[in-house]
Amino acid sequence: MSVSLYYRADRATPLTEAEAALVQRVAAAHTASFPYEDEERLYLYESEDDAPGRIVGGSTKMPFDPDRVVTVIVRVLGSVTELRRALPDARWSVHLDDLDVPWDEAAGYALPGMDRPWPGGEV
């Protein structure tokens, strides 16, 4: 059975060119620093034509290797935290299958009981 992390942002106005470029920079930085070539990482959907108002959407399938799953979760949530801070006026939803991932204004996204992720931080 696979578990996935889902993330999305919605708002009435589409991304500006500057915002779209910022989203791409966050995704590129995440990809460049991701430690596992063979694991799924931050994955942003190309188009959300079937979801009006969706400005960012994506998902990441968690690895089966228990030694890697925490690292993947922390790194992806760190990137999603960066995205939310870059697009603060959007309505965000982040969840691990049916478990909502809470937002903390100071620390960002993290699962209860886990260290809070931080952009570019090491796990």
Q: What is the CATH number of the domain that holds 52?
A: 3.30.70
Q: Is residue 123 a part of any domain in this protein?
A: no
Q: Is residue 68 a part of any domain in this protein?
A: yes
At 49, which amino acid appears? D
Confidence of residue 51 (pLDDT cuts 50, 70, 90): confident
Please provide residue 83's backbone torsions phi and psi, each rounded to the nearest 5 degrees: -65, -45
Q: Is residue 116 a part of any domain in this protein?
A: no
Q: Is residue 71 a part of any domain in this protein?
A: yes
Q: Is residue 58 a part of any domain in this protein?
A: yes
Among 14-18, 45-49, 56-60, name the one with the lowest average pLDDT.
Answer: 45-49
Q: Is residue 33 a part of any domain in this protein?
A: yes
Q: Summarize pLDDT for 16-43 with one digit per residue, the tens.
A: 999 999 999 999 999 999 999 999 999 9
DSSP string, 41-109: ---B-S--TTSTTEEEEEEEEPPS-HHHHHHHHHHHHHHHHHHHHHSTTSEEEEEETTEEPPEETTTEE
* Domain extent at residue 79: 4-109
The single-letter DSSP state of residue 37 is T
Confidence of residue 115 (pLDDT cuts 50, 70, 90): low
How many domains are there within the chain?
1
CA 55 to chain centre: 13
